[in-house]
Structure 1
Amino acid sequence: MTSPRLRPSLAALLIAAACVSLAHAAEPTAAAPVTATQSARHAITHEAVWLMKRVGAPVASPDGKWAVFAVVDSAYDSKEQWSDLWIKSLTDDSAPRRLTFSKGGESAVAWSPDSRQLVFVAKRDGDEAGQIYRLDVVAGGEAQRLTSLTMGARMPKWRPDGKQLLFTSDIYPGNKTEADVKQSAKERKERKYSARSYETTAPRHFDKWLTDKQVRLFIVDAQADATPRDMLSGTQLVTLPGFGGGNGDEGQSLDAIWTPDGKAIVFNAATNRDAAQRAATYSQLYLVPAAGGEAQRLTQDQRSYGSLKFSGDGKTLFALSDAETPGKVYDVKRLASFAWPMVSPAPVILTDKLDRSISRFVLPDGGKRVIFSYEHAGLEKLYSMDVKGGEVREEPSLATGSISSLSSGGKALVGVWESSINPPEIYAFNGKQPERLTNFNTEKAATIDWQAPEHFWFKTADGRQIHNMIVKPANFDPAKKYPLFTVIHGGAASMWRDQFVLRWNYHLLAQPGYIVLLTDYKGSTGYGEEFARSIQFDPLKGPADEINQGVDEAIKKYPFIDGGKLAAGGASYGGHLANWLQATTTRYKAIVSHAGEMDLIMQWGTSDGGFGREVNAGGPAWSGLPVWRDQSPIMQAGNHDKGTGFKTPILITVGELDYRVPANNALMNFAVQQRLNVPAKLLVFPDENHWIMKGENSRFFYSEVQGWLAKYLN
């Protein structure tokens, strides 16, 4: 619901900025966080974590003068939660100002080429789906709705001359007009039956059953009441049974951008999505004329491309690319480029010699370098290279923490930086010491008694270097002994990062008086392609051995750890490994398993993705390969009689809407614990998916975890 209050004009913002109060003027802009005296600091609470303002990714204006970003005012009751757009000058020290006053929130923000207007996606009064709205930042006033489509609109992009918008939406099979879409939606709503029908993979994704909706690209004039035009209707491309985009929370997506002259659209699409259960799917690049016509395939390989961007001079197309190497479980994302207009379908892989996966990249106007970030050893920092390739150069970043977004406009470069003790804030990265531009959470963070993680490494028997972090509780006293809770990350293709998190907040887990150990076992990202691939044919045993060694190394290194009081837990792949530890060792006093698999074959058949699991095992479930049985936790149940596993009390939690690791795994887990008379507790969240993301559910989850650990560790 929108407020009748008018959005301030840019002139009004400038006047207001000149009248900033002394309190605002005194806010620090240096990178160091605000500090508080030790006596004023308190142990972290769930309320402190949950109610931190959530600062979203900034979008820099093309002229480099402004950044717009979303800020969520969180609440335990979702009805009380607000999300609005804020604007911050990049040319002076004025405080950021709120641009919108709507409870529903805005997403997919895009600046007009002249830096005077914004478009974004929002669901406001009368909207049954998210629509595109335009806000005149200079003149002020209410945002104006530009689309009214039955299936909504997503990811708007301005044409270079600012006259039209490109966006994605959906249709139903056979639809040619918006009237057709509306009629199809009406018919489905009025059906007397509720059955779903499928003939190809996959029936569901993450926490949603998929429907027969089909993704499309649309163009619309950048004004109210204009009629959008489906750019792919009638093309041969969309008739292919495997046509589609990447799955996301709002449906399938096609990464699409205008060509520099505004006469065509470049986008990525898959054409073998129907084969996802038996082959890797890959997204190739296509070109469709803005005037209409058949889509032309630009690339002729089996790589995947995304994050498309043109250089400022329009002569180079950049993308992130996955090699999709046959028979391998992981490829690092590499920066690729094509001369434009495209003279060769083969990309130039600019970061071919860099054994790290590029998270994001930007192309500052007039710059001769591309700036990007990648993970390494718990951190994510800035790097750059010449736009034509060459040596990678480290750019000024903060010494700790992680960069989680980047945007450039003109010569300005802004992004979000955070660490485990510094919740996200907007920073300017201008080739020197990063400068904090916002202070939404700094004062609150300064009142919490927490310490930055401590890093250490150890070497495995096969020579692998393993990175770890430990987190200490409030009021830490090195003379005391503390139980150790080793927390295992999901993925496995992810990494423990020095960042502020909601779902398994390191300091909240440590708060009762535990040392938290975070080990990047083999299979983790941030250490190169081979490291991430090394779990192939060894999905659980090898990683678990390294987690156990990490515990041993931490006990040897830190005399304040009580080696007789150990616990372990994790979620998703971390839940898989928690189940494996419970099945194969009795060294831990308590286990916590969220969204953890019990049987590799069941997970292959019921999860929303199966082919990658088959590649990881080396063959299909019926191949007779021993890994399918030997590394399924349920198949280790005989360890109970041997005294080597299935003895440790276990807390099992699951979201009923989780289709990534379906709830049947948790039910099987609980059943075997009951069969073997092992102390166990099962928590089922009917309204949660792969993550526990609702406020009161999260608070209850943490209380149950802490209660379980206290029962068996203290």
Structure 2
Amino acid sequence: MTIPRLSVLAFIISAQLTCAAVAADAIPAKHAITHEDVWLMKRVGAPQPSPDGRWAVFSVTDPAYDSKEQWSDLWIKSLTDDTPARRLTFSKGGEGSVNWSPDSKRLVFIAKRDGDDAGQIYRIDVAGGGEAQRLTTLTLGARTPKFSPDGKQILFVSDIFPGNVTEDDVKKTAKERKDRKYSARAYESFPPRYFDKWLDDKQVRLFVMDAATGAKPRDLLSGSKLAALPGFGGGQGDEGQSLDAIWAPDGNSIVFSASTNRDEQARNAAYTQIFSVPVTGGDATQLTADKHSYNNLKFSADGKILFTLTEAEEAGKVYDLSRLASFAWPIANPAPKILTATLDRSITRYALPAGSNRVVFSFEYAGLEQLHSINYAGGDLRDEASLPTGSINSLNAGGKAVVGVWESAINPPEVYAFGNGAPKRLTAFNTARAATIDWQTPEHFWFKASDGRMIHNMLIKPANFDPSKKYPLFAVIHGGAANMWRDQFVLRWNYHLLAQPGYVVLLTDYKGSTGYGEAFARAIQGDPLKGPADEINEAVDEAVKKYSYIDGSKLAAGGASYGGHLANWLQATTTRYKAIISHAGEMDLMMQWGSSDSIWGREVNSGGPVWGDQAVWREQSPVLQGGNHAKGTGFTTPILISVGELDYRVPANNALMNFATQQRLSVPSKLLVFPDENHWILKGENSRYFYSEVHGWLAKYLK
């Protein structure tokens, strides 16, 4: 029987369609990114390689919208084979500050487990297995533990109250303060608060203890002349002050950096110098004698060189490059050897792989952070094998191994091994979920601004992008200003989630940004808002001209922190945008100077104190430009204002003044106040609500 030709053709077509359907079913359909995609990506911490280079330990957070359901544990991955990473701890409280013993058999870390009122030191036997053991039970907790070179002792940071000498003293003072009837705070030095915390009078100290349960910690600095100085202290963090401290190679002393002029922060830059103190305690010896700042101390494998990052703290300047420096050990000449003196870039992080006599490091440039190296003498600068996109956000060495975390805007963080050829991915916590999202790598472009500077930009396209269509443009402004837009996966202001409803997102590194040299970052001095804002406007013009799919009649702008400052300035000085988003943005330079937790840099940037005759304080305060309607500018653009009530970096009074001004001028405006958030929106449901409000505001005025 002969089958008619048309029937054969229909059969073939039907078979092809069936095969295509089967193939399509085999490939997961990609979807536009959701808030759940952003928030529920696992968060991979900085890996710590073992001294023998065989293992890496790192934290992994399983996020949840309800913080009570969130887990964070330590994982371990072999660096010698391809066996998958495995979970090392099973504790809901989470662990941090991991440090290996010199024999690569044990770990110490900080955790706050059942019965702990503060983070304590725990030790776990990686080689032999078993449960982690608590080593400290200090009233005020412990931070950043480090094994001694022989593995027999542990160095760590903790606090005491003024006048305390022993742990019994600390315990007694803590009880007295808990029982006292009044709630007032008293201050005699600046700042009284930091980000979302009112500061107290606890004093930071270095402790050493035997690496055994029941051992008694020894306070190395109490009673010393250094600790008695009114300006003594370390860098301020969420858990208190930190002292960057390491063991000297012989194990007989501790080398650390600390400030002696913290009490001058309202009128001077606080700089940190390098000191050493015997492991038995006593007076500390100052090893450097300048007004630079030193941090991130590390010894070479042979113990003959002390490496550090240093900033010059140049008087009258708002930004200093972070340079790689070294000292011959023991330090005889207090002047550092600057290894990257000819490199006009700020070193972000560095590592010292054994046997190479080279320092491996990274720095920011044009949206990327890649790997480079230099020899111990400061010569033979090289580019090392890096991924072509994205950013390295941690870097550590153990033995010859170098490991870190790499990520990009479309590749959430994973652990990678670097060196010995192309970077190698070691984990896959987020790869499957990321593969289901319809997103594209950022597109980079440069243009020459009217002030002669070359300006770098990244462009983010929405899901289901069609170049034949027209899309509104949302110019998103980074904070800082000493910061840079990076090709990375972010929780706050996630590029693709902002673009998701159908917007093209523009990310511009205006003058004042990092990654383009010291002069570029310093160009903001005396011009805190106008110049950067002009470059953002020019970037928008360039994008509209360059990309036919951008609808130049539908423009919006917004940002957070310094990005919020610029958003407020744009609203006051141009009417080109249909909508503005301002989170944690200053409204008045003088008010921000007097109410924030950081004032000296603002004074340097504006050329003098607020009571002087510097016009910047008045001419570049957004609120003072808002009524310029006769000039065709002033506040008219609809604005969404948001702020965390616990924000002490850009206090809520800025947002309140902003909203009051908008309402006074009958400008369409909305104020969002998050009572339990600080400078950033960090809680899952608050974040979801924030994005929905941003999307709603843009849709109202752009679509």
Common topology (TM > 0.5): yes
Deviations 1:354-409 (A, max 9, x none): 00000000101111100000000000000000011113200000000000001111
Answering whether residue 560 of structure 2 is matched by residue 565 of structure 1, we say: no
Q: In the alignment, does 2:685 pair up with 1:688? A: no
**Within the alignment, does 1:522 sit opposite 2:514 as a pair?**
no
CA contact (8 A) 2:524 2:532 kept: yes
What secondary structure does 2:388 align onto? coil
Tell me which moved more, 289-298 or 75-84.
289-298
Alignment of 1:78-117 (within 5 A): 78-117=67-106
Q: Residues 195 and 647 of structure 2 are in contact (CA less than 8 Å); yes or no, is this contact kept in structure 1?
A: yes
Task: Give the alignment of 1:301-380 within 5 angstroms.
Answer: 301-380=290-369
Displacement of 1:637 in angstroms is: 2.0
> How much does 1:291 deviate?
1.6
The match for 2:545 is 556
CA contact (8 A) 1:160 1:258 kept: yes
Which letter maps to 1:611?
W
User: 1:296, CA displacement in angstroms?
Assistant: 0.5
Q: Secondary structure at the match of 1:118?
A: strand
SS in 2 for 1:40: coil
Which 10-residue stretch deviates more, 384-393 or 437-446?
384-393
1:486 CA drift (Å): 0.2
Q: Is the 8 A contact 2:45 2:59 kept in 1?
A: yes
How far apart are residue 139 of structure 1 and its match? Answer: 1.0
1:442 alignment partner, one of 431, 434, 443: 431
Distance 1:153 1:97 in 2: 27
Could you give the per-residue CA deviations for residues 43-77 of structure 1, whole angstroms, max 9, x where no partner exists? 00000000000011100000000000000000000
Distance 2:284 2:108 in 1: 27
Query: CA-atom RMSD, angstroms?
Result: 1.0
CA displacement at 1:596 relative to structure 2: 0.1
Structure 2 residue 176 is the aligned partner of structure 1 residue 225: no
Q: Distance in 1 between matches of 2:423 and 2:51?
A: 20
In the alignment, structure 1 segments of 5+ residues that lack a partner are: 1-34
Say whether the 8 Å CA contact 1:38–1:449 is kept in structure 2. Answer: no
Deviation at 1:662, TM superposition (A): 0.2
2:254 matched residue in structure 1: 265
Alignment match of 1:594 (pick from 583, 586, 603): 583
Partner in structure 2 of residue 456 of structure 1: 445
SS at match of 1:307: strand
| 1:168 partnered with 2:157 | yes
Conserved? CA contact 2:384–2:419, under 8 Å: no
Q: Is the 8 A contact 1:374 1:380 kept in 2?
A: yes
CA contact (8 A) 1:36 1:446 kept: no
Give 1:553 shift.
Answer: 0.2
Contact persistence 2:444–2:459 (CA under 8 A)? yes
1:205 aligns with 194
Q: Deviations over 1:139-191 (max 9, x none)?
A: 11110000000000000011000000000000000000000000111111111
Change in Cα spacing, 1:446 to 1:674, as seen in structure 2 (3 Å) is: same
Alignment deviations for residues 672-712 of structure 1 (CA, whole Å, 9 cap, x no partner): 00010000000000000000010000000000000000000
Q: Paired residue for 2:14? A: none
Query: Rg larger in 1 or in 2?
Result: 2
Q: Does 1:145 align with 2:137?
A: no
Q: Within 2, Cα distance between the matches of 1:37 and 1:541?
A: 53
The answer to whether the aligner puts 1:429 opposite 2:421 as a matched pair is no
CA distance in 1, matches of 2:450, 2:76: 53
Is 1:598–1:668's contact at 8 Å kept on the other side of the alignment?
Answer: yes
**CA distance in structure 2 between the partners assigned to 1:662 and 1:500 by the alignment:** 27
- What one-letter code is carried by the residue in structure 2 that aligns with 1:85? L
Pick aligned residue for 1:73 from 62, 68, 73: 62
Distance between the aligned counterparts of 2:508 and 2:673, measured in 1? 27
Contact 2:28-2:436 within 8 A present in 1 as well: no
SS of the aligned residue for 1:439 comes to: coil
Tell me the matched-pair count: 680
1:201, 1:38 → 2: CA distance?
A: 59
Offset from partner CA, 1:569-615 (integer Å, 9 cap, x none): 00000000000000000000000000000000000000000000000
* Aligned equivalent of 2:483, options 477, 484, 494: 494
Alpha-carbon distance, 1:431 to partner: 3.1
1:38 CA drift (Å)? 7.5
Paired residues of 2:412 and 2:434 also in contact (CA < 8 A):
yes
Cα distance in 1 for residues equivalent to 2:277 and 2:412: 42
Q: Which amino acid aligns with 2:478?
A: H
Tell whether 2:148 aligns with 1:159: yes
Output the CA distance in 2 between the equivalents of 1:392 and 1:41.
Answer: 42
Does 1:479 pair with 2:468? yes
Distance 1:121 1:463, change over 3 A: same
Verify the 8 A CA contact 1:395 1:431 in the aligned structure 2.
Answer: no
Letter in 2 for 1:610: I
Give the superposition deviation at 1:561. Answer: 0.1
Q: Separation in 1 of the partners of 2:263 and 2:26? A: 60
Question: How far apart in 1 are the matches of 2:173 and 2:350?
Answer: 40
Is this contact kept in 1: 2:351–2:397, CA < 8 A? yes
* Separation in structure 1 between the aligned mates of residue 457 and residue 26 of structure 2, nearest angstrom: 29
Question: In structure 2, how many angstroms separate the alpha carbons of the residues matched to 1:112 and 1:93?
Answer: 24
Q: Deviations along 1:52-110, whole A, 9 cap, x unmatched?
A: 00011100000000000000000000000000000000000000000000001000000
CA displacement at 1:462 relative to structure 2 = 2.3
Structure 2: distance between partners of 1:640 and 1:393 = 55
Checking the alignment, whether the CA contact within 8 Å between 2:48 and 2:98 is kept in structure 1 is: yes
- The partner residue of 2:32 within 38, 43, 48 is 43
Q: Tell me what 2:244 maps to.
A: 255
Normalised by the length of structure 2, the TM-score is 0.96
- The structure-2 alpha-carbon separation of the partners of 1:39 and 1:158, relative to structure 1 and needing over 3 Å to count, comes to closer
The answer to whether the Cα contact below 8 Å between 1:55 and 1:71 also exists between their aligned partners in 2 is: yes
Distance 1:178 1:38 in 2: 62
Tell me if the contact between 1:640 and 1:676 (Cα under 8 Å) persists in the aligned partners.
no
With normalisation by structure 1, the TM-score equals 0.95
Which residue of 1 is the match for residue 623 of structure 2? 634
| Alpha-carbon distance in 2 for matches of 1:643, 1:371 | 53
**Alpha-carbon separation, structure 1, partners of 2:634 and 2:548:** 27
- Superposed displacement of residue 39, structure 1: 6.4
Amino acid in structure 2 at the alignment position of 1:478: P
Q: Which amino acid aligns with 1:77?
A: D
**Quick one: distance in 1 between partners of 2:487 and 2:207?**
40
Amino acid at match of 1:532: A
2:19 is aligned to none
CA distance in 2, matches of 1:246, 1:161: 28
Contact 2:461/2:505 (<8 A) preserved:
yes
> Percent identity of the aligned residues?
74
Equivalent residue of 1:458, what SS?
Answer: strand
Q: 1:617 and 2:612 equivalent?
A: no
Q: Shift in Å at residue 641 of structure 1?
A: 4.4
Shift in Å at residue 642 of structure 1? 3.5
One-letter code aligned to 2:115: G
Q: Where does residue 193 of structure 1 map in the other structure?
A: 182
- 1 CA distance for matches of 2:115 and 2:216? 19
Question: In structure 2, what residue type is equivalent to 1:177?
Answer: T
SS in 2 for 1:76: coil
